[in-house]
Each structure stands twice: as structure tokens, then as C-alpha cells.
Structure 1
Amino acid sequence: MERTRMNLFQNSFLLHPGRSGRPLLRPLVIFLLVGLLGVGTARQASAQPSPPTPEATIHVVQAGDTLSQIAANYGIPLDRLMALNGLDDPDAIYVGQKLRLTPSLAADMAIPPPMAEAPVGPGEEASRPPIATLNRTYQVQAGDTLHTIALRAGVDEAALARLNDLPLDNPGLAIGQILLLPATPADLREAREAGSRQAAAVYVVQAGDTLGGIAQAHGLSLADLLAANRIAAPDAIYVGQQLTIPPRPEPEAPPPAPLRLGPARNGFFYYTVRPGDTLSGLARDFDSTVLAVLEYNDLPDAETVYTGLELRIPFGPPPLPLRLPPVPLSGTRFLVSLSRQQCWLLRGEAVAYSWPCSTGYGAWITRTGTFQVQTKLEMAQSNAYQLDMPYWLGIYDVGSYENGIHGLPVSWETGEKIWEGLIGQPATFGCAMLTDEDAAILFQNAYLGMPVHIVP
């Protein structure tokens, strides 16, 4: 610009070299015009928008804002915006909240940018840190298949394949491979009970609540709830009050069972009937069943009992239908007596558990003999009778069906358990039935191939 002004000045002066006073006038006018043009140019330049200010570091939440919209407006990934502000729930923001948009130095160090995963070639397994899990695991042995592992563990084969990301038709198991086992109802029940005992909870009093009702709903005594909240008068609670719900007291451990030496004893109790005795009461007192007392005393019915009658009441497991060498018996086995409607879980020659049970009724009488567990399922389904049967242990086939041992059946039509009051008498279509609690214990101790003895 300066160079242009000088050229104009020189040219205007040389046009009139002989005029006095005039040579300076035109250059001066031209110089002023050029100066005004320069000022206009400068003003025009100053009118252009100023360079952008540094990026905002804080956003104040306004009515109608959403976290995803805020992240999009500032060009920030949603997960990074949540990490910068310590948010776990994208909906947990409120009007007036100040959100950090740029991390501090400490935050930069604490929140590294996500790293792209390297592609995994065919046949290669990605190197990932081990997954923390409470699921049980199983190590594949020689000869294992997905089907046999599912049967042995008592889990669903399809669920086992999905959990371990294996194709169901050709899983390609390798010896030593570790498989995660799907959780069973027993696993979930234990975890839920353990979690409920970890810490005290808080309950907010609602309209119509009473302290006694709140205590009963949480399985507590009124005294425990009063003590936990330092309340002297049970009626002095109000709507909105926060009450501390203490953990339930741990149940006392049962006393240890007496040490049993040698094989289990069996035989008969001899009892003379007294006034007021009933057959059901005697069966309960002697840990037997009404059917056993009837069978072993040739009684036609439970009413044929009179004062002075001598009864023979069996106790202990009957002898096993086996010819064995004279050496100690080992291993776990299950014994069912049809005439006594009782069963026993034996470990060696000792009785681990003794339970009442129900076997086949009428034309569906349970087959006698020695069998072995051939199927183990957490829940079996009977299409023939439209029933779910928990803790299923299949032991022998009847045509295209399988008979076994199970807990209380559940009707498909009503969704309710049936035959609950029939334990201790013949009631089933050929299976051996226990209560759910006893069937669960047996299921946990059973294994594929476990001997099952059914005697008359």
C-alpha cells in the first residue's frame, strides 16, 4: 500500500513540473484519498468475524436437554461425557447441573482414549483378560461331548452352548478347555440369600403402614425393628420416615449329627398299642410310614388298630439286593423300598439321608431291581402327562418314556405343584417322588451311573 501511494505521488508531481504552488496540491489530495481508502479497508477488515474463542469447558443443563443431545452438540462421545462427569445413568441429569466438557489433566490421565481392537485372524483366539464370574466351571476331559457334559452337570445343553459361544451341532471341544456352566436355581437362590445378608436396607414409610406390618413383611420381630431405629413408641412413625431394616439374624447351625460307627443298623421296633394311639401318629413317632406298618403287620387298613395290639415297625434301610464279597462297601447309592414308601441315600454302609417318598400307584407300580442314573436334568418335562418334574434323575426306560426320581410335579395347565400331600404313599405313574427339598439334596449328591436299588 505504501509503495502504491508513493508511485501516485511521484506521477502527479511530474505532470506539472513548472507550476508553483500547484505541484503540491494534487499530490496532497491524492494522498488523502489513498489514506481514506486505507482507513476504509482497515474498517472493513475489522468488521469481519473475530477468530473463535476457546472451546467451552462447562455446560449448564437447560430444560429439555438430554445427555445425548448435549454430547452431539459439542462433538463429544456420549460415554466419554458420562465418564467426565461420573454418570452411570444418561437420564440422571437435572436443570442447572454443570457438566464438564473437557477433562482436567488428572481426568486426561485417568480416562485414556479407547484403543481399537486388533483384528483376529481365522483360527486365532483374541487375547482378552479373564472374565470374573460366579458360574461354576467344567474342564473338558477325554471323550466328553457337549451332551454328556450337560447331563453330568444337570444343565440345558443349548444354554451351555450359548454361554460358551459354541455351535450346538459341532462345538469342537478340546481336552482341558474350561467351560462356564449355566447357573441353576440352586445357585441363584444361594447368591440371593447371601446378598440379602450383606447390609441393612432402608424402607420409606407409606400411608397406612404400621411398624408391626413392616417388621412382618421383612421377616423381623417388632423388637428388632424398634431397636434398629431407636424407637420407643411403635405408633410414633410418620409418612416419609426412613427406617433402617437390619439384616435378618443368621439361623443357628444345627447340632452336629452323632458320629456313627460301623454299618447302619436295621431291624424292627416292637410296640404295644395304647389308648389314643393312631397308626399315623405311630408312623411319625417311629420315623416310618403308615404303609410300612400296614404291610409288616398284615393290617387291612389304618382303622384296624386296637389297644393291646403288638405291632412290628421296621427301622433302618432294608438289606441291599446284592451279593458282595465280605469287604467294606464304598461309594454312593440310592435305595427305595416300595412296601415302606421310604428311601435312603447311602455312602458306603452308612445312611447319609433318610426320607419318605412316593412310588407308582396301581397299574403304574414302580419296577423293582438295580438300576443306575442315566439322565440328570434340573427340570424334566412330561409331554404325556403335561407336567414339569424338578430335579430329574432318570433310571430306566418304559417304551419311549423314562421313569426316574423327581420332586413335586408342576401342572402345565395351572402352574401349581400337585401331589404335595401324597408323600409317603403310592401316588405316581411309576416314578419315585420326594419333596422338593429332599429331591434337591439327592440331585446335588447324584451322578450319572450312580446305583439305584428298588426293593419290594
Structure 2
Amino acid sequence: VQGDGAAIRAWLEGLGPEQLGEARFLDLPETSNNILLALEEGTHQARARVRHPARTYVVQPGDFFFDIAYNFCFPQYQLERVNPDVNSGAIDVGMVLNIPTIDVLFPHPLVPNKRIEIDLPTQTLYAYEGQEVVMEMRISSGMSTTPTIAGQFQILFKEENAYAQRWRLDMPYFMGIYEEGPGYYNGIHELPITAGGYRLSASVLGWPASFACIIVGVGDAEALFEWADVGTLVRIHGVAPGTPTWQETLDRIVEPYVPPAGEP
């Protein structure tokens, strides 16, 4: 079956909010190409690529740059990238900030029929295939001083044995979900291990104890790592509870990396 590219594009251009939802539009070249390929191959489905517009925000009294980013479900770094001339530590009331499109958080096509849901209030992770929960596990999210951002993300990459140099931490079964600075990613990983060989206690699961990553238990991390593909949707909901003063947390057990003299 041969498709008429111009006719397909014209039809796609006629789709509006009623079909796509508010503040959404189609990536016309990619979607029309997918439809043409599906017709050529004789398949019955083609994937549409939905995009989202960038926005702006007017700074209000009491606003802080980090909080604005957090409320829009972005790491601060993403706001800094689209506001290069703004000093994030000195914003003024009435200033107009650029808010990036959520598409910057989704460089990969979404994996169909798989998603990860993380509920911060209950510190629980659910892995879904379609509407069925295939895994459920306790987690430890970011402490109040280094909170995990709620929002929609995806698995960006997977690294079986990742290393966080600034904290000298081994992070087994690491899956990056968002970039919090140039080359620095927060993600999901197993209970980390310090430079001295101490593994963070499993007692933290159920309480915020991390520097913003989602920590899961031994065994659970490997199972999730093997199940999740790059591109899998990750949804993080709600606000984490406070951490009891008696609870072990990462800041109490790590020894931050101190670069040798002369090293930047």
C-alpha cells in the first residue's frame, strides 16, 4: 500500500486539542514518516510523536529559582540552560523566565506498555506492564535538603556499576532518569557502597536518605535493571516525608571527594 505524503500531512495538520489534548502538537515530519512506513509494511499502527511547547513564568514575591524549577517538575539545571543570562541566585520580582518544553526530558522514544511509578509519600516503586503491576518495592528517595523531583522522566541510560566521584560511591544497577548538572545524573540504583566498603543500610528503605536518587534494595535493583529498557517512562508523584533523626542517611556515611592540589 502506498500512502500520499501530502494528504497524510494535511490530515495531521487538522488535528487539534480535541484529539491531542491542550498544549500538545504533533511532530509532523516524524509522525507522517511513521505512517508512511506503516503503510508500506502493511502494519495497522503507527506511532505519533507528540511535542509540548515551551512556556514562560513571571517571578513572584518569595520565589526562589530552585523552587520554580521544582514546581514545574524540572531540575534547576534545565532552567539555567534556557535562561543563560539569569543569575539563579538573584532573581527579581516581575522577571520573565523561560520554562523549557518537557520534551528535553524525553530524548528517547517511549517504550510501549512499560512504566515505573514512584510514590514519594509512601516511598514505594511500582513497575507496570500495561495495567498490571509486575514489581513493587520499597525505596529511599532524596532527603529534604536534596529532594527527588516529582515529575515525568524516562530511563536515559543504564550502567551496571556506576560511580559517583563527588561522594566516592559505588551505585550498582544505575539507571539515569534526569540530568541535574552537566554530566551529572540522578537515577535509580541499588543501596550504594562507600569508598570504605560500607553499604548503606537496608533500614533506609521507606525513608528519604539519598542525595536525590531513588535507592532500592539488593535484588530488587537488579530485577528492575533487567526489566526496564532505555526509554521506559518514569513517573514520580507527591512529596516525600521527613526523615527521622535516628535514621541513617547518605550524608552521614560518605566522605566527599577532595581533588588533589592543582586539580580543578
Q: Normalising by structure 1, what TM-score? A: 0.27
Write 1 or 2 for the structure with the bigger share of helix. Answer: 1
| Greater C-alpha radius of gyration | 1
Q: Which has the higher contact order (CA 8 A, sep 6+)?
A: 2
Write 1 or 2 for the structure with the bigger share of strand. Answer: 2
Q: Normalising by structure 2, what TM-score? A: 0.47
